[in-house]
Amino acid sequence: MKKVALVTGASRGIGRATAARLAKAGYAVGVNYYERQDKADELVSALTAAGCEAIAVQADVADRAAVDAMVRRVTDVFGPVTLLVNNAGVAGQALFQDITDELWNRYFAVNLNGMRHTIQAVLPSMIHEKSGCIVNISSIWGQHGASCEVTYSCTKHAIIGLTRSLAMELAPSGILVNCVAPGVIDTDMVQVLGQDTLRDLAAQTPLGRLGTPEDIAAAVAFLASDDASFITGQVLTSDGGFIG
């Protein structure tokens, strides 16, 4: 069966690096984006120029109809999705007492409901084939918690629960479900913290540096590989030793 990957939130950062890594490993890749079509098209152009198969597909993962349309588009072009990487997410800092209903609901709509939408969209073909792989991106803040990031941490904790429970449910169908928990990764999402804070976070990391999107892409690629065929329901932490 043709190897087909769908990577959500793939126009920048971890998703972009993951899509590139998988494409170079022989996957036909659906590069999902929400707003940055320019970045998604740029990546697709680079991959196709290198002889890889890739298309850009727009969807807000919080919108089930948009997700269903995206999966149909990828399936029509490449065939059924065999690897789903749930990377799309939103993050930010706020004191708990300042969290609005709008912020709380949007974070859960994207970070958690988005995964429900994408997984349910690709599952029928995976169950039919009795094979498939799902890799969810959580965070060390989903294992440890983070001050002033309660909403984000809650969603990332929930993703770990989703991963572990769904892995047990889908194991009889031969479908693997795992999770990667990145540490502090040098992406646009963390650049907003400022260089002083980033230097401090790098100093707090035992390996002495921030992670790169490529570090996380490598972890995803491992969980999607044949070398991980007996691994399911696990959380692979890639954080340079940050939380020990």
Report the catalytic residues. Answer: 152
CB-CB contact of 89 with 111 (8 Å)? yes
Q: How many CA atoms lie within 13 A of 141 on its CB side?
A: 16
CB-CB contact of 55 with 77 (8 Å)? yes
Distance CA 16, CA 125 (A): 25
Order of strands, sheet of 28-33, starting from the edge strand that comes earlier in the sequence: 54-58, 28-33, 4-7, 83-86, 132-137, 175-182, 235-238
From the list 97, 79, 206, 200, the residue with the least C-alpha distance to 148 is: 97
Element (H, E) at 105: helix 101-108
For residue 155 the two structure tokens come to 């969603």
**Rg of the chain on CA atoms, in Å:** 17
